[in-house]
Amino acid sequence: MAEGNGVLIIGESAGDELSLASQEILAAGRKVADDLGQELAIAVFGDAVDAVARTAIAQGADKVYAVTSPLLAQFQVELNLAAAETLCRETSPAIILVARTNQGREVAPRLAFRLGVGLAQDCLEVSIDTSNGKLLANRPVYGGNAVAVISCNQTPQVAAVRPKVYVPLEPDSARQGEVISFPVDLDVSMVRSRVIEVVKEEAEGVKLEDASIVVSGGRGLGGPEPFAQLEELARLLGGAVGASRAAVDSGWVPASYQVGLTGKTITPDLYITIAISGASQHMAGCSGSKAIVAINKDAEANIFKEARYGVVGDWETVLASMTEAVRELVQE
Amino acid sequence: MPAKIAVLAKQVIDPEMPMAAFQIDSNAKRVVTPPNIPPVVNGFDENAVEAALQIKDSQDVSVTVISSGSSFALDVMKKPLSMGADELVLLQDDAFDNSVDSFQTAQLLASAIRKLGGFDLIICGRQASDWDNAQVPLGVAELLGLSCVALGKKVELKDDRVVVERLIPDGYEVVEASLPALVTVSNELGQPRYPTLRGIMAATRKRPTIWSASDLELDGGEMEPRLTLHDLFVPVSNAECEIIEGDDEVDAGRRLALRLREENFF
Ligand SMILES: Cc1cc2nc3c(=O)[nH]c(=O)nc-3n(C[C@H](O)[C@H](O)[C@H](O)COP(=O)(O)OP(=O)(O)OC[C@H]3O[C@@H](n4cnc5c(N)ncnc54)[C@H](O)[C@@H]3O)c2cc1C
Ligand SMILES: Nc1ncnc2c1ncn2[C@@H]1O[C@H](COP(=O)(O)O)[C@@H](O)[C@H]1O
């Protein structure tokens, strides 16, 4: 593809709204577009785009491509990809940004491969290199033990940005933008896979991703039963329960509890870890927490290097007295 | 004809190595291979081998493991054979040292797959634990025009299709895809089986097929680097931990609650 101009975000809607991840990536894209001195566009798919387009413009977009086809009513990966590819080829952006959500983690690499270009995967930060106007991406590698700074050699430059890193811009309803209808021709024969059943396995109560307090348990708990005590503390604090991969792999809690590189990314105000060592792959999912608390019997555990408050001790004793004290304090 | 399954497996530095052994050569912009810690087959790729062998447990299929890299520890890469896979194909060339560029790796693997006559099902790990790219499999699927299902925790082969239980943030969904297909799997698939004594003996006798760049049809343009690595460094954490002490552990737990209350966390 030729030189390319502007920044294009592959957007996602959640119901009739622009998804939170798309709002976040608009903030990243706005900065990049300003530094380039070029336009920020976002593609939204499906028919119900009015509210979505308004939000997108209020939160930074100059242009909204309303990509439509009777086949785009619901997300279907091959159809979405084909539509995104057509739009990218026709509008030739210099930079494409995708939020690395459940959908984005599949769409971004496949789109980049279709366009024959590289992808900066799982970025924590994207910026413009002022010396040459190219996109620079910071991304964790080796489970978060290292950070790589990379750029893409071809145009468009594509980056997938980790959710919950950027904060959406304050909506400004006075901002002006253009909504461009972009009908695409899709064919059902592009569909190679279909969902035949959806099984939800989530805990009741506050969602782990949305909770402002999370209590997480690790291998040091020794079995599934102690999670009842974590639930109790979480309930008193109005929070949710999470776990390390070791606890999930042991079968103590379902996979949907896992926090980390290959689990959920969470950014609570308070993250309380119980008998978790703090491996980099675990921290990758919770390092955006405002404060981390560690309860661990090993004073040398890595978690104390990341935590704001810590108690070195046996979890059973410490958690029990902590929970009692919390109970008294919330009843006051 | 028995169905043909390929597993794509990467040799990586052991991610469970002690953090103190993790070092970066900042001039070369690479992670130093720790001298006394043997590499391993990427964990999720062992899950991929397990997924293939579970199919082989009940159906007549062949399982070929394919790996690309600049150098291999043969005893490490033979582990999938000792678990029960049939064949090992190593794409080995100095030019295949491609940790950064998923595009090149996917091209190499796709070209080997074509040379091997294609497969009904290709199973991969969800990501390699070194560069955590999670994109080589999706690239291979795109390059070969295969159906693609990511993040499987159960994979079943049924006549002309593959049925996958695939992880989603709040549970899983059952997805059906037409063959030929590529599926990536996650650790939720369960513990990979241990090699049996018989398996280990059979694996010792098996010779891997080894192909270098000249054995693969690679046209220059496709192998052109897609990414540039500017810097590689260890991030520094600047958290200062306040260790809460008390008369004993009971007291420390109580004080922790008070401290968090004081800071208005709840
Ligand atoms: C590619 C890859 C992806 C990964 N993704 C993730 C991920 O998404 N999430 C994740 O969590 N991990 C992930 N991991 C695994 C990660 O590397 C660690 O193995 C895992 O996080 C360890 O879990 P843990 O802290 O519960 O267990 P351990 O590391 O075994 O730690 C247990 C801790 O409990 C403490 N303890 C034991 N008994 C007591 C007691 N009585 N009282 C108090 N403390 C006690 C110990 O001191 C120890 O620190 C991944 C690994 C790889 C290779
Ligand atoms: N060099 C390689 N050789 C064989 N398979 C690979 C290689 N690199 C990646 N893969 C496969 O692709 C998956 C994801 O890797 P990555 O995209 O590098 O994170 C791995 O789990 C393997 O199944």
In a domain, A50, yes or no: yes
Q: Do the Cβ atoms of A136 and B230 come within 8 Å?
A: yes
Q: How many other C-beta atoms lie within 10 A of the C-beta of residue B28?
A: 9
C-beta atoms surrounding B233 within 10 Å: 13
What is the residue type of B253? G
For helices B102-115 and B136-144, the axis angle rounded to 10 degrees is 50
Sequence-separated (6 or more) residues with CB below 8 Å from residue A101: A12, A19, A21, A163
- Is A219 found in the same domain as A171? no
Same domain for A263 and A326, yes or no, is: yes
d(CA B261, CA B266): 6
CB A122 within 8 A of CB A135: no
Residue A314 within a domain: yes
**CA of residue B73 relative to chain centroid, distance:** 16
| A198/B168 Cβ within 8 A | yes
Give A325's contacts in chain B (Cβ within 8 Å).
253-254, 256-258
Residue A171 buriedness (CB in 10 A; 0-12 / 13-18 / 19+): middle
Instruction: Give the pLDDT score at A95.
Output: 98
CB atoms within 10 A of CB A302: 19
Q: Domain boundary at A190, A221, A246, which?
A: A190
* Amino acid, res. B55: I
Q: Are A145 and B168 inside 8 Å of each other by CB?
A: no
- Kindly identify the ligand whose nearest atom is closest to the C-alpha of A219: 1
Token couple for B55: 């199919």
Name which residue sits closest to atom 21 of ligand 2, judged by CA: B125
Nearest to B169 among A256, A261, A293 (CB): A256
Same domain, A28 and A127: yes
CB contact under 8 A, A150 and B227: yes
Residues A215 and A132 grouped into a single domain: no
CATH number at residue A23: 3.40.50.620
Is residue B95 scored above 90 in pLDDT?
Answer: no
* Mean per-residue pLDDT of chain B: 95
pLDDT of residue B222 exceeding 80: no
Rounded to the nearest angstrom, the distance between the alpha carbon of A276 and the centre of ligand 1 is 5
Rounded CA-CA distance A314/A133 in Å is 53
Query: Residue B188: which of B251, B264, B140, B126 has the closest Cα?
Result: B126
E strands along chain A, which residues? 7-10, 13-14, 17-18, 40-45, 63-68, 95-99, 119-123, 125-129, 134-141, 146-152, 157-161, 178-183, 193-200, 213-217, 240-243, 270-274, 291-296, 309-312
Neighbours of A46 (CB within 10 A): 19
Contact residues for A96 (Cβ-Cβ < 8 A; gap 6+): A7, A8, A9, A10, A88, A111, A156, A157, A158, A159
pLDDT, averaged across chain A: 95
Q: Inform me whether the C-beta atom of residue B220 falls under 8 Å from chain A C-beta atoms.
A: no
A-contacting residues of B 134-163, CB under 8 Å?
Answer: 134-135, 138-139, 141-143, 147-150, 153, 163
CATH of the domain at A266: 3.40.50.1220
* Interval B84-90 mean pLDDT: 98
Are residues A136 and A41 part of one domain?
yes
Contact A309 B260 (CB under 8 A): yes
Angle at B161 between CA B159 and CA B163, to 5 degrees: 115
Interface test with B, best of A249, A321, A323, A330 (most B CBs within 10 A): A321
Residue A295, pLDDT > 60, answer yes
Rounded Cα gap, residues A185 and A47, in angstroms: 14
Q: Is B69 in the pocket of ligand 2 (CB under 6 A)?
A: yes
> How far is residue A24's CA from residue B185's CA, in Å, rounded to a whole number?
29
Verify that A49 and A114 share a domain, yes or no: yes
B185-198: per-residue pLDDT in tens? 999 999 999 999 99
Q: How close are the terminal C-alpha atoms of chain A, in Å?
A: 65
d(CA A303, CA A231): 21
Q: How confident is the model at residue A61 (pLDDT cuts 50, 70, 90)?
A: very high
3-state class (DSSP) for residue B197: helix
Counted residue by residue, chain B has a size of 266
Q: Which atom of ligand 1 is nearest to the CA of A263?
A: 8
Residues B210-217: contacts with CB under 8 Å, at least 24 apart:
B210/B89, B210/B90, B210/B92, B211/B89, B211/B90, B211/B91, B211/B92, B211/B112, B211/B115, B212/B91, B212/B92, B212/B93, B213/B93, B213/B95, B213/B96, B215/B115, B216/B91, B216/B108, B216/B111, B216/B112, B216/B115, B217/B111, B217/B114, B217/B115
Confidence of residue A49 (pLDDT cuts 50, 70, 90): confident
Query: What ipTM was assigned to the predicted interfaces of this complex?
Result: 0.95
Q: Do A325 and B254 touch (CB under 8 A)?
A: yes
Contact A102 B24 (CB under 8 A): no
Query: Which distant-in-sequence residues (6+ apart) come within 8 Å of B186 by Cβ?
Result: A262, B44, B47, B126, B151, B152, B153, B167
Is residue B45 lining ligand 2, measured as CB closer than 6 Å?
yes
Give the pLDDT confidence of B99-148 residue by residue, as tens digits.
678 999 999 999 999 999 999 999 999 999 999 999 999 999 999 999 99
| Substitution target from B40, B122, B237, B249 for chain A, most A beta carbons within 10 A | B249
The two tokens of residue B197 are: 């004594």
| Rounded distance from Cα B202 to ligand 2 centre (Å) | 25
Give the span between the Cα atoms of A284 and A164, in whole angstroms. Answer: 12
Residues of chain A positioned with their CB less than 8 A from the CB of B134: 105, 109, 121-122
Query: Is A145:B234 a contact under the CB 8 Å cutoff?
Result: yes
- CA A147/CA A129 separation, integer angstroms: 17
Q: List CB contacts (< 8 A) between A280 and chain B.
A: 19
Report whether pLDDT(B41) > 80: yes
**Res. B250: pLDDT tops 70:** yes
Judge if pTM exceeds 0.80: yes
- Put simply, whether B45 touches A (Cβ < 8 Å) is no
Whether residues A226 and A319 fall in one domain: yes
For residue A2, tell me if it sits in a domain: no
In a domain, A246, yes or no: yes
The tally of domains found in chain A comes to 2
Boundaries of domain holding A62: 7-190
Task: Please tell me which of the candidates B139, B171, B235 has its beta carbon nearest to residue A147.
Answer: B235
Nearest to B240 by CA among A307, A161, A99, A280: A307
pLDDT band at A3 (very low <50, low <70, confident <90, very high): confident
> Which of A143, A158, A190 corresponds to the end of one domain?
A190
Is the CB of residue B119 less than 8 Å from the CB of residue B48?
A: no
pLDDT at B100: 76
**Residue owning tokens 């064919």:** A187
| Residue B8 CA, ligand 2 centroid: distance in Å | 6
Domain final position from A163, A190, A217: A190
Range with the largest mean pLDDT of A291-295, B169-173, B239-243 = A291-295
Q: Give yes or no: residues A251 and A174 share one domain.
A: no
B99, closest residue in chain A (CA to CA): A141
Tell me, what amino acid is at A256? S
Q: Is A50 exposed, middle or buried (0-12, 13-18, 19+ CB in 10 A)?
A: exposed
Residues A57, A104, single domain; the answer is: yes
Q: How far is B116 from chain A, CA to nearest CA, in Å? A: 22
Q: What is the pLDDT at residue B98?
A: 64
Tell me the pLDDT band of A1, cut-offs 50, 70 and 90: very low
| A157 plus A24 within the same structural domain | yes
pLDDT tens digits, residue range A146-198?
999 999 999 999 999 999 999 999 999 999 999 999 999 999 999 999 999 99
- Does the distance separating the beta carbons of B149 and A322 come in below 8 Å? no
User: Residue A2: what pLDDT?
Assistant: 54
A47 close to A70: Cβ distance less than 8 angstroms: no
Q: How far apart are CA A186 and CA A71, in angstroms?
A: 7
Q: Is residue B21 within 8 angstroms of chain A, CB to CB? A: no
Residues of chain B in contact with residue A120, where contact means CB-CB under 8 angstroms, are 227
Verify that A41 and A103 share a domain, yes or no.
yes
Residues 6+ apart with CB under 8 A from A176: A57
> Considering the domain boundaries, does residue A198 fall inside one?
no
A142 and A227 share one domain: no
Ligand closest to CA B9: 2
DSSP A61: -
Mean pLDDT along residues A34-45: 97
B2 touches chain A (CB under 8 A): no
The model's pLDDT over A12-25, given as tens digits with 9 standing for 90+, comes to 998 889 999 999 99
Q: Which residue of B has its CA nearest to A156?
A: B226
In order of their start, the domains of chain B are 3-223 (3.40.50.620), 236-266 (no CATH)
**B32 touches A: beta carbon within 8 Å:** no
Is A247 inside a domain boundary? yes
Give the minimum alpha-carbon distance from B27 to chain A in angstroms, rounded to a whole number: 13
C-alpha–C-alpha distance, residues A304 and A300, integer Å: 7
CB-based contact B153:B167 (threshold 8 Å): yes
